[in-house]
Amino acid sequence: MKYVSHNKLRPKAIILRTAGTNCDYETKYALEKAGASVDLMHINQLLNEKGLLDLYQILVLPGGFTYGDDIAAGKVLANQLRHHLLDELIRFVDNGKLVIGICNGFQVLVKMGLLPRIDGTQASLNGYKQEFTLTYNDSNKFEDRWVYLKSFSNKSVFIDKDSIFYVPIAHAEGKFMAEDEEKLKMLSKSGQIVFKYVDKDGNITNYPWNPNGSLDNIAGICDSTGRVLGMMPHPERHIEPTQHPRWTREGLKTEGDGIVVFRNAVNYISGIL
């Protein structure tokens, strides 16, 4: 655990939902178990009440298939956020607050420009150029399986380096790609590649361990501050030890592997409240 605080104030988290969101309640459970006070909020409410986001310290874009993943996965919501809430979201991050996008939420963050912001530049509306994306799996099918992740960076506040944990995936467009090899090298050099798919021994290898064919086995990245995280696998689906698919054979752990992501977020915010 990276951040520990005895502050009794409960960080306030907001989970953004819209048509097609389907992981909001699992994410709410995870955050509340980690110690946060959580509100589920429809995108329309956030758009209609300017400044509402300022009341929160953690923003989560959960998984699902927002707007049916029309055009491309997460693209419609990404455009909606970029055109109507980008300045607020950038201010939210620059004020030291946290954002996490899971699966569809990761796709949204990349396609709207809040990730990866390698050099820390503002993802301005007019100057925006998308240099990374998440696209169709190499298998040409929806991949629904459990995977091993390993963290390869200490840059993100959500996880410690060299942590390995077991969580599920469920996506058809999870292949992380860069505009060119130089962009990928910049992302690696800046320490923003947070998670990679590995096998059960922590080794980088191919399908099915890398379930979608992501370049460099990338499963999750952060921005230049370390306070915005996007990841394709679902930590909110492995919070309780009984959610492990083989717990009856291998025995119960004290908790599910995915809770650490949410607990680190809550503890980080508690430490600065």
SS3 content of the chain, % helix, strand, coil (to 5): 30, 25, 45
Which residues are annotated as catalytic?
103, 234, 236
CA–CA separation, 148 and 199 (whole Å):
6
The angle formed by the CA atoms of residues 186, 78 and 125, to the nearest 5 degrees, is 70
Give me the count of residues in the chain.
273
Ranges assigned E (strand) in 53-142: 58-61, 98-102, 132-135
Work out the number of other CB atoms within 10 angstroms of the CB of residue 166: 18
First vs last Cα of the chain: how many Å apart?
18
Query: Contact, 26 vs 105, CB < 8 A?
Result: no
Residue with tokens 């040409």: 140
Please report, for residues 66, 116, 148, 177, 189, the alpha-carbon distance to residue 182 in angstroms, rounded to integers and kept in the order given: 31, 14, 27, 12, 10
Work out the number of other CB atoms within 10 angstroms of the CB of residue 244: 20
